[in-house]
Amino acid sequence: MPHPPPPRLRIRPARPAELDVAARVMLAAYQQYQPAFPPGRWDAYAADILDVRSRLPHSELLVAEEAGRIVGAVTFYPDGSRSVVEGWPPGWAGVRLLAVHPDARGRGVGEALMRACVARARERGATTLGLHTTRIMAVAQRMYERMGFVRAPEYDFHPAPRIVVMAYRLKL
């Protein structure tokens, strides 16, 4: 059952002065996965998460603001083929690094951010919205599946042995 967004939650593009705050929220959200990373891989991943500015030429950084505080963020690619990591097919939009601060979890923030991405993808005429996740991100996986995303294993990738980054898609 979908969570209704918190009443005071606002989803909007990040302002330039908020980029570092949004990046820290994203890192805080992903920090719990550090123990699952092979030695040496976490530092590179954390640096990528924090580097929100390098994604901005081809994406939008959306934030979830609640009571004046950024509690979540997501990178939305209107043209998913422009995402260096995912490289979705032409006509697809993409989502990367959905993040909800640990203090704000369980209140519908992640779903509100995803619904904003779905709406943006539809507005821009995308045929499909793609995203990647891993088994350790089980809560997010369940949310994606509740929202209608289905596996697209032909777009999986393997950043290290025995690690599968699983692709999901939503037909729009």
| Domain spans, the chain | 9-171
What H or E segment, with its residue span, contains residue 65? Answer: strand 60-66
Residue 3: the pLDDT is 59
What H or E segment, with its residue span, contains residue 12? Answer: strand 9-13
Residue 154: the pLDDT is 94
Cβ atoms < 10 Å from Cβ of 58: 16
Report the CATH number of the 9-171 domain: 3.40.630.30
Residue 9: the pLDDT is 96
Residue 109: the pLDDT is 97
**Which residue do the tokens 């998460």 mark?**
49
Each residue's pLDDT tens digit in the chain (172 positions)?
A: 555 555 689 999 999 999 999 999 999 999 999 998 877 888 999 999 999 999 999 999 999 999 999 999 999 999 998 887 777 999 999 999 999 999 999 999 999 999 999 999 999 999 999 999 988 899 999 999 999 999 999 999 887 777 788 999 999 9
* This prediction's pTM: 0.92
Structure tokens at 137: 């991100």
Cβ atoms < 10 Å from Cβ of 59: 23
Give buried/exposed letters for 22-53 (b at 16+ CB in 10 A, else e).
Answer: bbbbbbebbeeeeeebeeeebeeebeebbebe
φ and ψ at 10, to 5 degrees?
A: -130, 125
